[in-house]
């Protein structure tokens, strides 16, 4: 709801501006929002992104950018990432590492379970050696009950925070390669999953992706001479999320926006 308040033009003119709340002016750092206009000659609708400071005449002179151009460019950039096997493998390793750090309850339960099991083993050894007291039987029953309760807690915790293997994570991300980037829904899924922010200048673009610590900046000249810009024509900030937040969001959107491969 907060994002929609800042993005009243997201669904403007029977089209969706997919980079709303993610595209920022490189000059002033404010949002670039969706705009549309109709040509007087051919009565054709043109859609583009415009800096809000330019729109409200607050001093910025950032040029507008055509909607199709910038959105297609971002999609092509994402495709370059998801078709890089090394990037996906490294990302899977980082998510495996993050999984181990996220849950603070399970390590405590595992430790308690281990201590209870150790107590049971000590009592059994004592009983085998003939060291039995009136309280031995009751103590054994208490430990067995505690072990059962801990086992149930561990199972519940594991089910609520499932651990994925590296192979499962890579399988999930490989499903992105099968998305049809001609479909609006698939374009939205890629952008929502991967893009944290795009900073657009007149001569360069800075990409901030959800899974990377640093941004990558490419000049328009580099883009036009690369595969990203080969089929594109040239055109006439809030605080960034922390690395941990971005990696969590990336994991969430990526793993749960696609159908689970284990489901029918």
Q: Do residue 46 and residue 139 come from a single domain?
A: no
C-beta atoms surrounding 90 within 10 Å: 12
d(CA 144, CA 149): 9
Q: What is Dmax (Cα atoms) for the chain? A: 102
Instruction: Quote the pTM value.
Output: 0.62
In a domain, 262, yes or no: no
Count of domains for the chain: 2
Q: Which stretch, 13-22, 40-49, 59-68, 126-135, has highest mean pLDDT? A: 59-68
Q: Do residue 148 and residue 69 come from a single domain?
A: no
Q: Do residue 251 and residue 178 come from a single domain?
A: yes
Mean pLDDT of 97-109: 74
Q: Which pLDDT score is estimated for 250? A: 58
d(CA 189, CA 183): 10
d(CA 49, CA 66): 6
Q: Do residue 219 and residue 109 come from a single domain?
A: no
Confidence of residue 197 (pLDDT cuts 50, 70, 90): very high
C-alpha neighbours within 13 Å on the C-beta side of residue 55: 15
Mean pLDDT of 41-51: 86
In a domain, 261, yes or no: no
CB 205 within 8 A of CB 33: no
Residue of 31, 33, 1 lying closest to 16 (CA atoms): 33
Sheet containing 65-66, strands listed edge to edge, beginning at the edge strand earlier in sequence: 32-38, 45-51, 65-66
In a domain, 264, yes or no: no
More confident residue, 215 or 52: 52
How far apart, in Å, are the Cα atoms of 90 and each of 26, 171, 173, 208? 30, 14, 12, 17
Q: Which pLDDT score is estimated for 226? A: 62
Q: Do residue 227 and residue 183 come from a single domain?
A: yes
Q: Which residues contact 34 (CB under 8 A, 6 or more apart)?
A: 7, 9, 10, 12, 17, 20, 47, 48, 49, 50, 67
Q: What does 192-248 look like in DSSP terms, one character per residue?
A: HHHEEEEEE-SSEEEEEETT-SS-EEEEHHHHHTSGGGTT-PPP--PPPPPHHHHHH
Confidence of residue 23 (pLDDT cuts 50, 70, 90): very high
**Poorest-pLDDT segment among 29-43, 96-110, 219-233:** 219-233
In a domain, 239, yes or no: yes
Q: Which pLDDT score is estimated for 228? A: 54
Q: Look at residues 160, 177, 200 and tell me which one is the last residue of a structural domain.
A: 160
DSSP 31: B
CB 147 within 8 A of CB 177: no
In a domain, 95, yes or no: no
Domain ranges, residue 44: 2-89+167-256
Q: Which pLDDT score is estimated for 157? A: 76
Tokens of 63: 């040029």
Q: Which pLDDT score is estimated for 259? A: 45
Mean pLDDT of 107-132: 88
Q: Do residue 183 and residue 151 come from a single domain?
A: no
In a domain, 202, yes or no: yes
Place of tokens 């043109």: 46
3-class secondary-structure state, position 51? strand
pLDDT, one tens digit per residue, over 128-179 is 888 878 788 888 889 999 999 999 888 887 766 667 888 988 888 888 899 9
pLDDT, one tens digit per residue, over 220-256 is 777 766 655 443 333 334 445 555 555 555 555 555 4
Q: Do residue 189 and residue 153 come from a single domain?
A: no
d(CA 246, CA 57): 33
Q: Look at residues 160, 182, 200 and tell me which one is the last residue of a structural domain.
A: 160
Confidence of residue 101 (pLDDT cuts 50, 70, 90): low
Res. 33: pLDDT tops 60? yes
In a domain, 143, yes or no: yes
Q: Which pLDDT score is estimated for 129? A: 82
Q: Do residue 226 and residue 182 come from a single domain?
A: yes
In a domain, 121, yes or no: yes
Q: Do residue 133 and residue 84 come from a single domain?
A: no
Q: Look at residues 143, 160, 177 and tell me which one is the last residue of a structural domain.
A: 160
């Amino acid at each position: 709801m907060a994002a929609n308040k800042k993005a009243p033009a997201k669904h403007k003119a029977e089209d969706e501006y997919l980079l709303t709340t993610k595209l920022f002016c490189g000059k002033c750092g404010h949002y670039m929002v969706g705009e549309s206009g109709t040509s007087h000659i051919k009565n054709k609708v043109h859609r583009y992104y415009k800096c809000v400071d330019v729109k409200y005449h607050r001093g910025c002179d950032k040029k507008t950018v055509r909607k199709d151009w910038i959105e297609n460019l971002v999609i092509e950039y994402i495709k370059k990432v998801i078709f890089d096997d090394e990037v996906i493998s490294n990302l899977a390793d980082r998510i495996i590492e993050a999984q181990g750090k996220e849950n603070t309850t399970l390590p405590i339960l595992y430790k308690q379970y281990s201590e209870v099991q150790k107590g049971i083993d000590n009592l059994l050894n004592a009983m085998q050696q003939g060291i039995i007291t009136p309280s031995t039987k009751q103590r054994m029953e208490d430990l067995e009950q505690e072990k059962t309760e801990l086992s149930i807690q561990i199972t519940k915790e594991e089910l609520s925070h499932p651990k994925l293997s590296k192979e499962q994570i890579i399988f999930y991300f490989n499903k992105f390669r099968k998305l049809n980037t001609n479909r609006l829904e698939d374009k939205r899924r890629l952008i929502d999953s991967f893009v944290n922010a795009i900073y657009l200048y007149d001569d360069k673009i800075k990409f901030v992706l959800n899974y990377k610590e640093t941004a990558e900046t490419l000049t328009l000249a580099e883009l036009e001479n690369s595969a990203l810009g080969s089929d594109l024509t040239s055109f006439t900030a809030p605080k960034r999320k922390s690395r941990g937040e971005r990696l969590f969001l990336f994991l969430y959107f990526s793993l749960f926006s696609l159908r689970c491969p284990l489901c029918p």
